[in-house]
Structure 1
Amino acid sequence: MSHFNEFNRRHKQSFAEQQRWLKKVLSGQTLKCEVCNQPLKTERSGDLLIVACNQGCTHVELTVG
C-alpha cells in the first residue's frame, strides 16, 4: 500500500473517532482528555463552540451558526 493510501486510511479513522467523541461530549456525557485524563468541558464564545480540557492538551473549536 502506498504511503498516501495509508495516510488517507488513518485520517478517515481519526476523523470518525473525533466525530464519535464530539457527539458524546455534546450530548452531555463526561469524557476525559486522552493526555491528562481531565474532563473535557464545552464553552460557547460567539460563533465558536470550544471543547477542551483545563490544561489545553485537547482543544477543538467548532464554528456554529
Structure 2
Amino acid sequence: MTKLDFSSINKSSAKSFNEQKNMIKKIGKGQTVFCATCKQPLQLCVSSEGENGVKCEKGCTQIGLEVEA
C-alpha cells in the first residue's frame, strides 16, 4: 500500500489561511486592503443577519466568516 504525501497541500493551505487571517486583522484595525484581482478596497461585513465576511465590490474576493452569537 502506498502512503500519500499531503505535506505540500497542508503547507499551501496553512499559508493561505494565515494570509487571509492577517488580511482580516488589518481590515478589522481600519487599514485599507485592496483586492488582488480588481484592486478595489475590501470590505468587512459582520451582522446578525445575512452573510458575514470580507469581499470586494466586484465579488472577486469573498472570504466567509463564522460569527458566534
Query: TM-score, with normalisation over the residues of structure 2?
Result: 0.78
Q: Deviations over 1:15-38 (max 9, x none)?
A: 111111110011111000011100
SS at match of 1:63: coil
- Work out whether 1:58 is the aligned partner of 2:61: yes
Identity %: 38
| Unaligned segments of structure 2, at least 5 residues | none
Structure number having the greater helix percentage? 1
More strand by share: 1
- Pair 1:7-2:17 in alignment: no
Q: Point out where structure 1 has 5 or more consecutive residues left out of the alignment.
A: none
Q: CA RMSD in A?
A: 1.7
Query: Which of 1 and 2 has greater Rg?
Result: 2
